[in-house]
Structures are given as structure tokens and as C-alpha cells.
Structure 1
Amino acid sequence: MSRSFKNARILIIDDEEQNVEVLRRILMRAGYSRVETTTDSRDAAALYVQLRPDLILLDLHMPHLDGVGVMEQLSEIAEATYLPILILSADVTPEARREALSRGAKDFVNKPFQQDEILLRIKTLLETRFLYLKIQSQNQILEVKVRERTRALEEAQIEIIERLAMAAEFRDDNTGQHTQRVGQMSALLARQLGLPDTQVTLIRRASPLHDVGKIGIPDTILLKLGKLTPAEFEIVKGHTAIGARILSGGKFPLLRLAEEIAFNHHERWDGFGYGAIRGDDIPLAGRIVAVADVFDALTQQRPYKPAWPVGEAIAEIDRQRGRQFDVAMVDAFLRVIEQQPAEQPEENGDWPRRPFARY
């Protein structure tokens, strides 16, 4: 007998002490060393939880709780796996066999039984049990590998799009850091709003892709020093739809969220944004990134504008509560600002530096 069979945990449940002892001796002589018994079927559930047996030998007709009742109890607590139950009963009626098998028994043997037959049936049931557990373990390993490969594919796709977003950003931000600062601030806002860590992480990673659609805007417009004409402004507004199209069809939550952000981050709470969406109809992530994007844009120098002093930028965000921005977003933003260490911003408006390093 193989080592796995010798180590099989077997539980015998029969109200007749003599029957229990006969079965126990048969099993021990056959090499099974982990055999537990009980003559009180009411202990079956507790023993199952304690022992987690690989096989149960169960009498059908017992006082207090019969074999069918035991199987009903076990079905409520047994994990989703293959648990062999072999019914041993003197009841030879077809009805008894049919009911036992329909309630969860895997085999049925009438008493008195032949020793060789019972051992063969036990061996067959244990082989099935261990094969099931082996397949289950292999499936778990495969699931881990699939998740790892899926994650690697997701990371590869995200890296490509992030590089595309950086390429677009370098055209009007020679540091290429705007996208990362927006991601960091968006994460701080999301956390301040009490979002779960998983959602905070998703927003932190998705929000840097908000302006990926700028890759489709001509340099003559994107880098124009003077005021845009109405026609040029309409072209610039198109970067939200372009970005959403670039990110559309993503199979991963991060890319789907990035698509949502790209399309909605220029919406206004009062409905006067790019797509005329207003209030709570604007997705939460879009409302978060709207604040982070505007704050960073105000405090950074661009070819077409100087950087605002940080204090003025904060005041402007506050003035736009209930108009450009969701009130809850502005309140969260002000709490984030209050929690930053006192630090003098650089003259070029690159603020804050160290606080965002926490992300």
C-alpha cells in the first residue's frame, strides 16, 4: 500500500460497538493507521471538523441520528471537495440504497460484507479522493500561473500606454512629470475620501493616463503661445475622446478606469465641461482627477502661461467649489493640503515634492 493510502484519515460511524471494532481491525491489518471511530452519530459533525477525514464508513440505521441525517449535517459544513461516504447497512431494500446514494453517499455495501470486497471498495474510493485532491491542487497552481501571466500582460499593456502618455506630455511639459504628479495627488484625494486601498491604487495608476489623447492634437495648437481660437479649442477638447478611444476595449480594471478618467476629467460639476455632464453623473474618478489636473496645471509653467503661486492656485480650487468642482472633492483637496508638511515651493511652482513621495 502506498504511503498516501496508509496516511488516509478514516472515520467509522456505527452505533454497534462490535461492528466498529471489526471494521477497525480489518483496516488496521490492511495497513490503514489513522482510523477514528464513534458509536454516537450525534458526534459526527464535530469529529468531521476535527479530523477532516478522507473517507467515512457510515451505518444507515442508528438511534438519535440516522445515516441520512449525518450526511445532511456534513453537506452543510464540508468544503467544496470530494468526500467519499461508504454506507454499510443491513437494510437490503432498494429504497434504502436509492435514498443513501441520492443524499451524498458514494457507495453502498450490505451487511454482512466480505472483507476483500470492503477493502477493494475502500481502496477505490480513496483513489478517487486523492485523484480529486491532486487535480484540485494542479488547478490551483494553474490558476496562480494564469493570474501571474495575466498580470504580466496587463503590466505590459499599461507600460506601453504610459509611455504614450509621457510622449504626449513631453510636448508641453519638458519634465514629463505632470502625469505622475496628477497620479499622486489623485491617490491622496481618493484616500482622503475614504476609498478602499485597492481603489486608491487603481486611481493612482490610471490617472496618469488622463491626457494620453493629447498625442492626437497638433503641436501648432497644443504649444500655441497665444489664445486659442474657438475652432482650435474644439480640437483641444477632442483629446478626451481620443484618449478614451486609445484606452477603450481594455480587459483589465485599470485600463477601464483609465478610459473613464480620460473621457471625464474635463467635466465640470455645473455641467459646463467638455461633455456637458454634470453633478453626480460625472464618474467619481473623473471628479477626483479634475481637481488634481487643474491644480497641477495652475502651479506649473507652460509655453503658453507662467506658473501660479501655490497659494493662489489653492484659493482658485476653493473658489470653484460647486461650480467647476464637486464640493466633496474640494473639501478633500483642502484636507490634503493642510496635512502636507510646511514647505516653501520652488519658484517654478514644482510643489509639493516630498509629500507625494509617500505614493
Structure 2
Amino acid sequence: MSCFEAALGLRAEGRARVPLDEIWSAYHCAEPVKSAASGKRDSLRTALDALEQRGVLRMPRSPKLWDRSAKPALPHWVHLTAGAAHERAPESTVAWAPELEFARSISHPIQQATLAAVQRFLAAGGRDRPMVPMRERSLEVFGDEKKLDRLIHSSLFQEGRLDLGLLRCFAVSPPLVWEEYSTPSTTALFIENHHTFHSFKRWNEDRLAYRVIAYGAGKAVAKAIGSFTDAAGRLGIERIEYFGDLDQEGITIGAKLAEVAERTGLPPVMPAERWYALLLDRATAVQDIADPGSSVSADSMRWFSPELRARIALLVESGRRLPQELVGWEALSVQPH
């Protein structure tokens, strides 16, 4: 087994699919010199091709699932085949803590090593430790501050196995930036990008159409929105609108945010249809911009109203994208309340 293959298995945490950022992390760990050289994309692609030829992993077939921002192209993810990057662990003779009795049924050696680290934490008095932010505990227990970010989505965190309470830690939402306005409105508007956020703040100072204008920071908003819960109650927010780029990533962010809000008891997240419609109206203001992302899922598209969905579908099917900066200050300044 190569060092890179083993590192991929560690990043997988029992999952079959490993995203590109984790692939890079594994490669840097296994090949620190090559991963820092000018030809690092070439060497990573060569390493991935070699593992695919050995049957260790599969790379996506669709051209849309590849990063083509530079050459050679790299996959957005790889799928580890059954049995890849690990062998069956020897029969366990560890006297597991009562909370870890399920570890006897775990055959994956990487998962066993993870559980052994938890065992050491508990044996050292971990049950009596104060509750701390998740990444602080992750660094202490595993030597990797982001390991728990990956673990909580793995089979080790299924019901009846590990949980954050056992590790005496809790998840922390990233900070969210927003501006509050004195207005009867009960709607908050979340903006994907910070330049557009600035223009909408400026516009709302006079129009007072929204109680809150918030900066979502792209994909980070799905994790950050939890920090808005208390403010939403304090400000009487009854509805959240989201406005982002019209491309694969931007649409997916909005749809996912709606799901997160529903799960966490926040007010419903709706598409800011007024601004999406204006964005589509302004499509002719720029030359066509290709969307390198994969196709938009039907579930994400259902987030929009039927009328808007039909217009956006035409854009998506043409392989184009519309950045929300098209609805900038000059376009906003002529918009009424």
C-alpha cells in the first residue's frame, strides 16, 4: 500500500467518496515535497491515475465533475472501491470502555485507530472534562483540528456509537455578519458575495425594505446561519430570503440553506425572487459566462417558483452562469422600495 493510498483512506473516515480538498490534503501528507513543487497538479494526477489502474479508486466519468481551472484536470472527487486503502483489522483484544463496546464489531483498521484515540481520551479522565468547541477537542484527541468535521458524517457517528457529548465538545457555527435596520419589515435578506452585500446595505439604508441584510460568505452560510437563531427571534424575523449567483454552486447553496433552516427551526428560507428576476433580466449586460460546475439537481431547482424555475432552467441548460454582481449598486439605485 502506498503512502498516498493510506492517506486517502485516513481522509475517507469510512466514506467511499473523497472530495478534492481532502485528496489534496492526503497528497500533501503523503508527498510533502511533490505537493509543494510547481508541477504538483501533474504529480497528483499521475498518482490518481496509478491508483485507478490498480482498482483502488474510480474517478468521475462526466467532464462536468472535473476541475479544469488549470492543467491537468483533476476530479472533484474520487470513489474508493470496496476494500481500498485498508485491510481487515486483526481480532480486537482491547478492553474497550463501556461507551465503545461497539468497537468490537469494527473491522476497518483506520476506524479502530480512531476509536483507540477516543479510548485514550476517556481513560485519561475525558468524561469529566469541560465542554469545549469541537475543533479544540479534535486537535487534542486526534492531532488534527478538522478530523471531527469529517468524522461526524461517517459511520462512527451513527446512532449508538460516537457523539460529541462523549468527547465533551460541541459544534460552533462560523460567525455571520449582518446589518440591522429600524423598519417594520420582518424579512432578512442573505447575500452570497460581499461586494453585492455592500451594495444592498447601501440600498436598504434608504429603502428599508429588509429588517436585516446579511453576508452569507458563499458555502459557509449553511454552517454560519445557526449563529443567527437568537437574532432572528429578537428581531421578529419571520422570513429569510436568499440571493446568490445563478450557477450550479449558487443555486445549490440556496436550496441547502432552506433545508438547514427547516431542520434547525429558523424561519423559512425562500429565494429572493425579485432579485433573481432582475438578475435574469440583466443577462444581456455581459457576455456569456460559462458555468464550469456540474448540472443543477432537480431538488435544488424546485426551490424556485415555477415561473422563475423555467427561466433559470434555460440558463442552466445553456451552460451559462450569471454572477449576482450584475445586480450591483447602479442597478439597485433605480429600484423602488
Same fold, judged at TM 0.5 (above): no
| Higher CA-based Rg | 1
Give TM-score, length-normalised by structure 2: 0.25
Select the structure that is richer in strand: 2
